[in-house]
Amino acid sequence: GQQVMQIPQYQHVQEGEDFTTYCNSSTTLSNIQWYKQRPGGHPVFLIQLVKSGEVKKQKRLTFQFGEAKKNSSLHITATQTTDVGTYFCAGRGVTGGGNKLTFGTGTQLKVEL
Amino acid sequence: EADIYQTPRYLVIGTGKKITLECSQTMGHDKMYWYQQDPGMELHLIHYSYGVNSTEKGDLSSESTVSRIRTEHFPLTLESARPSHTSQYLCASSRVNTEAFFGQGTRLTVV
């Protein structure tokens, strides 16, 4: 079945440092989504990428979708304490009508002052 | 705020009991999902549905069952709860190829 891995599993940074998490799928994806889950909360949608090689920005966050549509990355510039949480990518396969939404293993970000 | 609701929020139950976790959404979404998540860990897809009377097992083997008799309702049932079922269960819904909205989750403890 489809597997989606993320690295690193954990990341501690000092406030102001940059942060990147990488997402790799075992199969080609029709699209990739990114979610943020705060401690004790539920995942909240951040963005969706659809096109091969697509790059999207949201303020300090930059999202990329790989050319082969099997990998993606999220980069945060100059982290802030409000960025704390776990970041998940989630993908839909190209087969099966895209009905199944498989989440990555997640990267837990901690930001220290 | 997303219109997807899960009940109960917290549940402590004895081993061997039958339980049903409720999930309802008022957005008219065709797709619904159940995920199991231990604290601070990844989300495991255990069931999904792409419409009324259409359900599939997810990537994680689960002893639970689901039904989708109405578009807005996607309950999950455990026939005989065990301590290994202790976890958080998250329900989500989406339209075709769009973002998923999550409920607040049910934290289940089986003693």
Contacts of B1 (CB under 8 A, 6+ apart): none
Q: Decide: B6 and B104 in contact? Cβ < 8 Å.
A: yes
Please indicate if any CB of chain A lies within 8 Å of the CB of B75. Answer: no
pLDDT score at B18: 96
- Residues facing residue B25 across a β-bridge: B4
Contacts of A88 in chain B (CB under 8 A): 42-43
Say whether pLDDT at B2 is over 70: no
Distance CA B53, CA B5 (A): 20
pLDDT score at A53: 97
Phi-psi region of B51 (alpha: psi -120 to 50; beta: other; left: phi over 0): left
Q: Which of A89, A99, A100 to mutate to test the interface with B (most CBs of B within 10 A)?
A: A99
pLDDT score at A97: 63
DSSP string, B18-40: -EEEEEEESS--SEEEEEEE-TT
Backbone angles phi, psi at A53, to 5 degrees: 75, 5
- Which of B94, B25, B5 has the alpha carbon at shortest distance from A48? B94
Say whether pLDDT at A72 is over 70: yes
Segment B35-79, tens digit of pLDDT: 999 988 999 999 999 999 999 998 887 789 999 999 999 999 999
- Which of B29, B24, B39, B31 has the alpha carbon at shortest distance from B86? B39
pLDDT score at A104: 95
Segment A31-58, tens digit of pLDDT: 999 999 999 999 999 999 999 999 999 9
Segment B6-33, tens digit of pLDDT: 999 999 999 999 999 999 999 999 999 9
Here the tokens at position A28 are 């080609």
Segment B88-99, tens digit of pLDDT: 999 999 998 899
Q: What rounded mean pLDDT belongs to chain A?
A: 94
- Which of B16, B17, B13, B20 has the alpha carbon at shortest distance from B34? B20
Please indicate if any CB of chain A lies within 8 Å of the CB of B98. Answer: yes
Please indicate if any CB of chain A lies within 8 Å of the CB of B89. Answer: no
3-state secondary structure at position A91: strand
Please indicate if any CB of chain B lies within 8 Å of the CB of A61. Answer: no
Q: Decide: B89 and B33 in contact? Cβ < 8 Å.
A: no
pLDDT score at A96: 67
Indicate the helix (H) or strand (E) that contains B5: strand B4-7
Polymer length of chain B: 111
Q: Decide: B80 and B95 in contact? Cβ < 8 Å.
A: no
**Pairwise CB contact (< 8 Å): A48 & B99:** yes
